[in-house]
Chain A
Amino acid sequence: MGTRLNVLMHDMVPKHQIMDIEEVQTLLTDYHLTMEQLLKIYHDDPIVKSIDAVPGNVVRITRKSHTAGEAEAYRLVVRRPKK
């Protein structure tokens, strides 16, 4: 029965999308960022697993915002550091 749960459908989970390399490039130049400055998301995060993202991908997250209606955030997929 474990297949019934689709984590992407849950109310608390915003939309996640893997970004193309070109999109990432424009994002980085637009905001004058380096890859290390992006927010992180671990490779074993349930959402990352279900959209098949791999370390190095950048995920675009479209959140429902309390203030702006909709807001975008970007997270870089990284390996979970070993304790």
Chain B
Amino acid sequence: MNEQYIETIDSYTLPETIHKLISDWLAQHEVDEEIFDRILRRLVRIHEADLPVKTHDQLITLILKKEEKGSPVTDDQFDEILKRVVNEYQSTRIEPCEAVGIIAAQSIGEPGTQMTMRTFHYAGVAEINVTLGLPRLIEIMDARREPSTPAMTIYLEDGFRDNRDRAREVSWDIEASPLHEFGDITTDMENMRVIVTLNKAVCDKRRIKVSEILERAPTKIRDRRHYRDFESEVDEQAGILRFLPKDQGSYQNLFQLVEHVRNVIVQGIDDIQRVVVRKESGEYILYTEGSNLKDVFEVEGVDTTRTRTNNISEISQVLGIEAARDAIIHEANSTLREQGIGVDVRHIMLVADMMCMDGEVKQIGRHGIAGEKESVLSRAAFEVTVNHLLDASIAHEHDELCGVTENVIVGQPIRLGTGDVRLVVKPMQPITKTGEN
């Protein structure tokens, strides 16, 4: 019986979500042909009403629930419900020729004036501080290469997320640890050398091999810290490293070398200064200070589907432009919400869409959206007026006067709202020379 119903549904071209809702429901319920016909008729009508996915899903779920309870909606009621929903939906739609950009700018700008200038928030975690408030909002809109406080939220894979010790192990692979945490460093002034004695117990606890550290330390001082005036000797058996400065007569070089040896990062990812493990809604999550999405994704135990960063340009490089758009909306929205300011997400979405239009994240401002406008007058009205006018006159540029700003400047009606309506005459019969039809 049910197979037959599903076949009938297949013959209609319904969108994926509706199709799934109804076939899931049919799989669990036995219904008469009469009821099925009624449901199907309504489904088709809801589909034809052309509502947003969320709305029609809700409608269908409600109707199915009513059927389940044995008190189905009557045809009259259904007509009324659908009529009201459609009306409500139509009234929320923006009208043609409406200036959505200006509305978005005002809607974000006005609450922006109430934001605090400097807010440091501890992201719910002790010691990790994240810039929020107005400076953060400006950072997002300016599409900075790097935020002033990069931070990541690292989720863990199954098997790691519910075990504190294993979560801690993952954090050691991520947190940048300098050499002095792994053993004693002594300066032998008499023989002009630096001696590192590794502590085996610490290395075991941090799950890193002694030989790995011995090999990594000298190469990393050369590559990462760009200090090359030394030679090194390795005693793998005893876990001892000796560094000798090239200039055996200079104490200054020796002390420089000690600094480099102490601070060279031998375990973890260089950009991530601090990691905090925290339990939240039943799983362990790592919060970091510093961000490197690409390298963190390669660490074992990291959930590569949920881990995120607040560095938007990094997201656009690793996960693409669409993920960056999503990140802009998320970051801007949560920055505003944290200040207790409710801005409709549509305005933020419009801004994010504008920023990501051309395949890369562009700032709002003179190096981005505002600077790439077609019209000379519009660009000149924004910032650095004289430069724009001068450049335009040298390049012999034209202004078509299509946009809003240019037309305000020259005193013409703008082509928005009622100003965009033109009178079009369609003569019924060709007009004769005398003007009579």
Main secondary structure of the interface of B (DSSP, over half): helix
Bound CA–CA A78/B321 (angstroms): 13
How far, in Å, is A10 (CB) from chain B's closest CB? 5
Q: Is the CB of A40 within 8 A of B359?
A: yes
A10 cross-chain contacts in B, Cβ below 8 A = 304-306, 319, 323
Please give me the residue from chain A that is nearest to B58 by CB atom.
A69
Determine which of A9, A47, A68, A69 lies in contact with B305 in the assembled complex, contact meaning CB atoms within 8 Å. A9
How far, in Å, is A51 (CB) from chain B's closest CB? 10
Q: Map CB proximity to B onto A39-71 as digits: 1 under 8 Å, 0 otherwise.
A: 111100111100000000000010101111110
B358 at the interface (CB under 8 A from A): yes
A4 cross-chain contacts in B, Cβ below 8 A = 297-298, 304
Bound CA–CA A2/B305 (angstroms): 14
B357 at the interface (CB under 8 A from A): yes
B357 cross-chain contacts in A, Cβ below 8 A = 39-40
A14 cross-chain contacts in B, Cβ below 8 A = 322, 326
Determine which of B298, B322, B323 lies in contact with A5 in the assembled complex, contact meaning CB atoms within 8 Å. B298
Determine which of B55, B300, B359 lies in contact with A80 in the assembled complex, contact meaning CB atoms within 8 Å. B359
Please give me the residue from chain B that is nearest to A9 by CB atom.
B305
13 A–B contact pairs at CB < 8 A?
A2-B298, A10-B304, A13-B322, A41-B321, A42-B321, A45-B320, A46-B317, A61-B322, A65-B52, A67-B52, A67-B54, A68-B54, A70-B54
Apart from the given pairs A16-B322, A41-B320, A69-B52, 20 other A-B contacts in the complex at a CB distance below 8 Å: A7-B320, A10-B323, A11-B305, A12-B319, A13-B322, A13-B323, A39-B359, A40-B357, A41-B322, A41-B359, A45-B321, A46-B317, A65-B52, A65-B53, A66-B349, A67-B345, A67-B349, A68-B53, A69-B53, A75-B359
Residues of chain A touching chain B, judged by Cβ–Cβ distance below 8 Å, are: 1-2, 4-7, 9-14, 16, 39-42, 45-48, 61, 63, 65-70, 75, 78, 80
